[in-house]
């Protein structure tokens, strides 16, 4: 077999040097191996420094302030919004709503969508592989509005069964909510195709991009999605900040989500009129440092050629899957989709994932174990949890080797 040649310019050591935490030695003498980026990525210097500088030198409340610092902070915050817009190729700044994270963005749509688009008996489609945050808000919306929740089933390989999806679509379908990449399986879902089909019956589509934005170039206009949500902290940015992208005309149709300052135009004791986008959905003082820090995270990501970075990450993922299969006769990789990124879930014989996680931890290796907030998916595979190794652009194949050695040791102790 001819080794795959690559001419990528991606320099993983240079990337790693931006993340001081990766040099940590834990539990006395174990070099940290961080394979939990799907839960939250580590932060590069530029993000930490930007947030620190903001707090130490630049902080004031934004919007409507007449003084220097307020204007400066407002400019920085709004610059970050523009960076996000360009990053996902949205058409307008006001289509970028700052939220506290993916969950918040989904809840915003789930709390408002039914007020204008849903009547009793309408249908909402989600999939069998959603994170609870892209399931529970829709359950709540359906319960409130009398809509019926439908599910796209998942195949044994961990892919959505598209024929079943197509069969679910009809003129009662008002919304489809689907993750772009599964947090548990790493499956990349064919969202562009799914969006096209949904639009064919007049339904809108929300894409949960929490696990895709860190790993691939996203173009919301190309996808033609109606809403796209993601989190800052999974893409090298701060916690507590996220983005809801929505098509302008659709966001304009929705009523405000939270009431308060920022989101109003005029207020009398009896009634208020609401501000325009994006402020209509940004009540209260936002996470200013988080927004600016997210802008810095985008700057960080764009220093790399994102295609090269993705290729590197996928090589690490592939290497990990191959070694798992080579080294362990009773390994079971949960999710064998053709298109994957970011994560591999597995079971080592009948060893409980928690045991594996505890022992790996003591060897300095951070993985996640359990149901990964996807209990229906666990039920689908008739398991209670998995061990999940997930990757960022800073991970290496040498780290995978450490994981494999750790797993061998854990297997020996536990069987």
SS3 letters across the chain: CCCCCCCCCCCHHHHHCCCHHHHCEECCCEECEECECCCCCCCCHHHHHHHHHHHHHHCCCCCCCCCHHHHHHHHHHHHHHHHHHHHHCCCCHHHEEEECCHHHHHHHHHHHHHHHHCCCCCEEEEECCCCHHHCHHHHHHHHHHCCEEEEECECCCCCECHHHHHHHCCCCEEEEEEECECCCCCEECCHHHHHHHHHHCCCEEEEECCCCCCCCCCCHHHHCCCEEEEECCCCCCCCCCEEEEECHHHHHHCCCCCCCCCCEEEECCCCEEECCCCHHHCCCCCCHHHHHHHHHHHHHHHHCCHHHHHHHHHHHHHHHHHHHHHHCCCEEEECCCCCECCEEEEEECCCCHHHHHHHHHHCCEECEEECCCCHHHHHHCCCCCEEEEECCCCCCHHHHHHHHHHHHHHHHHHC
* Binds other proteins (CB under 8 A): choice among 6, 14, 25, 27: 27
225 is catalytic: no
The nearest distance, CB 334 to other proteins, in angstroms, is: 17
Position among 362, 379, 405, 408 found at the interface with other proteins (CB under 8 A): 362
Shortest approach of other proteins to residue 20 CB, angstroms?
A: 24
Interface with other proteins (CB under 8 A), residue from 51, 289, 337, 363? 363
Does position 292 bind other proteins by CB under 8 A?
no
Closer residue to other proteins (CB): 264 or 414: 414
132 contributes a contact to other proteins by CB under 8 A: no
Q: Which of 385, 396, 402, 403 binds other proteins (CB under 8 A)?
A: 385
- Per-residue binding string, other proteins, 327-356, x by CB under 8 A, is ------------------------xxxxx-
Nearest distance in Å: CB 387, other proteins: 11
Q: Applying CB under 8 A, does 358 fall inside the site for other proteins?
A: yes
Question: Residue 374 CB, nearest distance to other proteins (Å)?
Answer: 13
Residue ranges binding other proteins (CB under 8 A): 27, 351-355, 357-359, 362-363, 369-371, 384-385, 409, 413-414
Which residues are annotated as catalytic? 373
């Amino acid at each position: 077999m001819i080794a795959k040649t690559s001419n990528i310019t991606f320099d993983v050591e240079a990337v790693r040097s931006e993340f001081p935490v990766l040099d940590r030695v834990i539990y006395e003498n174990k070099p940290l191996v961080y394979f939990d980026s799907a839960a939250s990525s580590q932060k590069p210097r530029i993000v930490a420094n930007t947030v620190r500088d903001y707090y130490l030198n630049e902080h004031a409340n934004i919007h409507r302030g007449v003084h220097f610092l307020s204007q400066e902070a407002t400019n920085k915050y709004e610059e970050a919004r523009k960076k996000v817009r360009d990053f996902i190729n949205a058409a307008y700044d006001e289509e970028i709503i700052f939220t506290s994270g993916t969950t918040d963005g989904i809840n915003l749509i789930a709390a408002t969508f039914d007020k204008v688009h849903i009547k009793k008996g309408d249908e909402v489609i989600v999939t069998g592989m959603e994170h609870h945050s892209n399931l529970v808000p829709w359950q709540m919306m359906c319960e409130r509005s009398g809509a019926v929740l439908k599910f796209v089933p998942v195949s044994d390989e961990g892919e959505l069964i598209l024929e079943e999806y197509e069969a679910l679509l009809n003129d009662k379908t008002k919304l489809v909510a689907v993750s772009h990449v599964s947090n548990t399986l790493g499956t990349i879902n064919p969202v562009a195709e799914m969006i096209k089909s949904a639009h064919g019956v007049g339904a809108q589509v929300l894409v949960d991009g929490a696990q895709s934005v860190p790993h691939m170039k996203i173009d919301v206009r190309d996808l033609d999605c109606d809403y796209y949500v993601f989190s800052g902290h999974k893409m090298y940015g701060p916690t507590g900040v996220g983005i809801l992208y929505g098509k302008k005309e659709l966001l304009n149709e929705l009523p405000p989500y939270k009431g308060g300052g920022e989101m109003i135009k005029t207020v009398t004791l009896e009634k208020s009129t609401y501000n325009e986008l994006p402020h209509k959905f940004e009540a209260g003082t936002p996470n200013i440092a988080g927004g600016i820090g997210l802008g810095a995270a985008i700057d960080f990501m764009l220093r790399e050629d994102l295609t090269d970075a993705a290729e590197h990450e996928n090589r690490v993922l592939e290497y990990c899957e191959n070694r798992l299969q080579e080294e362990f006769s009773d390994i079971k990789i949960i999710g064998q989709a053709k298109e994957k990124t970011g994560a591999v879930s597995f079971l080592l014989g009948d060893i409980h994932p928690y045991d594996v996680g505890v022992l790996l931890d003591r060897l300095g290796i951070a993985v996640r174990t359990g149901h990964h907030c996807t209990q229906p998916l666990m039920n689908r595979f008739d398991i209670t949890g998995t061990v999940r190794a997930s990757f960022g652009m800073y991970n290496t194949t040498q780290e995978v080797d450490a994981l494999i050695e750790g797993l061998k040791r854990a297997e020996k102790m536990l069987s």
